[in-house]
């Protein structure tokens, strides 16, 4: 039985559906502190604040959970606006997850991020193992989370696994306050307005990934043969790296009239410039067969199709 905490978020809302299609609706328990009728529609849903360790443990016992996906986090930009709250939520949920995984013998997946790297990490083809001095509270939480994950594995034998996600682009649930959100907003504004005002400077490279590939990674790593894992927390994974200018050019191929201007957000700029331009994900490829399927062209075609469909249905 699988439990997801933070199931109402950008990753969680789609991961719940994907896991239910793979393992069966009744075998995937979705939880979030907010009520999520969509997630309750086709499988078990429990309204749960993951900071309440007692309530969290009750759910794990009641449903006999053996694998947990911990997707609770305040993202980079929103975290910079309230660093104390970001630490409290991100690390509170993680500590409860690690302790519960230890006590009830559950496997635990917690995503890390390109945000775990900092300005003095090598920028191009950032290695799996390198210096990590992030300059955002989000990055500090992610590096701490990676270290705790490896500690709980080594010290207590907990089966903790993790991937460092790039910016995730999806057409189901909007991202909640990240630095890479521009790469989702641009498609919605292109369809709704035919124009977009970009908060990230035109020349800033960031790794990105289409959500279907991210969901594959979440499943593949947890199904990987543990004897082949040299690393655990956390694997570099990526599929593409681009600047706003490159994404703009790709969108104009499909929508020649689309226009983009820039109104740079200084907080998002400083975060984005502190992150890698591109990751080296060789270890994930070698240790558990990571292989992305989507690139900027195919993602753009699919995003425009999906967002246009939402507009036609009056959903946006
Ligand atoms: C953010 N989307 O922008 C998240 C993610 C790599 C970026 O961590 O904060």
Question: Which among 138, 152, 187, 205 is annotated as catalytic?
Answer: 138
What is the number of helices (H) and of strands (E) in the chain? 12, 14
- Position in ligand 1 atom list of the atom nearest CA 79: 9
Rounded CA-CA distance 301/316 in Å is 18
- Span from the CA of 145 to the centroid of ligand 1 (angstroms): 15
Question: Degrees (nearest 5) of the Cα angle 72, 78, 79?
Answer: 70
Ligand 1 pocket mutation, candidates 9, 71, 175, 210, criterion most atoms within 8 A of CB? 175
Q: Is 241 in the pocket of ligand 1 (CB under 6 A)?
A: no
Q: Is 178 in the pocket of ligand 1 (CB under 6 A)?
A: yes
Q: Is 111 in the pocket of ligand 1 (CB under 6 A)?
A: no
- Position in ligand 1 atom list of the atom nearest CA 168: 2
3-state helix, strand, coil in the chain (%, to 5): 50, 15, 35
Rounded CA-CA distance 103/114 in Å is 30
69 part of the active site: no
6: left (phi over 0), alpha (psi -120 to 50) or beta: left
Q: ipTM value of the model?
A: 0.95
Q: Is 9 in the pocket of ligand 1 (CB under 6 A)?
A: no
Query: Quick one: tokens of 94?
Result: 């993680």
Residues 149-170 as b or e (16 or more Cβ within 10 Å = b) = bbebbeeeebbbbbbbbbbbbb
- Position in ligand 1 atom list of the atom nearest CA 142: 8
For each successive 10 residues of the chain (316 residues), what is the average pLDDT? 97 98 98 97 98 98 98 96 98 98 98 98 98 98 98 98 98 92 98 98 98 98 98 98 98 97 97 98 98 98 97 96
- pLDDT value of residue 184: 98
Rounded CA-CA distance 144/166 in Å is 18
- Span from the CA of 180 to the centroid of ligand 1 (angstroms): 6
- pLDDT value of residue 201: 98
- Position in ligand 1 atom list of the atom nearest CA 10: 2
- pLDDT value of residue 155: 98
Ligand 1 pocket mutation, candidates 179, 182, 217, 242, criterion most atoms within 8 A of CB? 179
Q: Is 244 in the pocket of ligand 1 (CB under 6 A)?
A: no
Residue 33, burial from CB neighbour count under 10 angstroms (0-12, 13-18, 19+): middle
DSSP structure string for 39-78 = HHSSS-EEE--TT-HHHHHHHHHHTT--EEEE-----HHH
- pLDDT value of residue 109: 98
């Amino acid at each position: 039985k699988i439990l997801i905490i933070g199931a109402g978020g950008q990753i969680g809302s789609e991961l719940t559906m994907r896991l239910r299609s793979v393992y069966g609706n009744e075998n995937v328990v979705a939880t979030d502190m907010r009520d999520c009728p969509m997630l309750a529609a086709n499988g078990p849903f429990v309204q749960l604040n993951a900071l309440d360790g007692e309530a969290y443990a009750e759910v794990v016992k009641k449903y006999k959970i053996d694998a947990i996906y911990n997707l609770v986090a305040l993202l980079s930009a929103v975290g910079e606006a309230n660093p104390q709250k970001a630490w409290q939520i991100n690390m509170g949920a993680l500590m409860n997850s690690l302790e519960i995984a230890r006590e009830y013998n559950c496997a635990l997946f917690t995503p890390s991020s390109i945000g775990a790297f900092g300005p003095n990490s090598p920028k191009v083809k950032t290695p799996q193992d390198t210096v990590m001095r992030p300059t955002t509270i989000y990055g500090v939480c992610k590096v701490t989370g990676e270290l705790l994950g490896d500690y709980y594995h080594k010290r207590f034998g907990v089966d903790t696994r993790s991937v460092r996600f790039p910016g995730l682009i999806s057409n189901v649930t909007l991202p909640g306050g990240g630095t890479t959100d521009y790469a989702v907003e641009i498609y919605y504004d292109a369809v709704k307005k035919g124009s977009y005002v970009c908060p990230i400077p035109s020349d800033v490279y960031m790794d990105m990934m289409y959500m279907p590939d991210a969901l594959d990674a979440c499943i593949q790593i947890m199904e990987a043969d543990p004897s082949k894992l040299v690393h655990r927390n956390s694997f570099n994974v990526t599929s593409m790296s681009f600047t706003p200018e490159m994404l703009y050019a790709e969108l104009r191929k499909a929508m020649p009239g689309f226009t983009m201007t820039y109104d740079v957000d200084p907080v998002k700029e400083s975060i984005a410039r502190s992150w890698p331009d591109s990751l080296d994900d060789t270890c994930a490829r070698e240790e558990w067969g990571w292989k992305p399927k989507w690139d900027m062209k195919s993602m753009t075609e699919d995003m425009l199709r999906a967002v246009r469909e939402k507009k036609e249905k009056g959903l946006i």
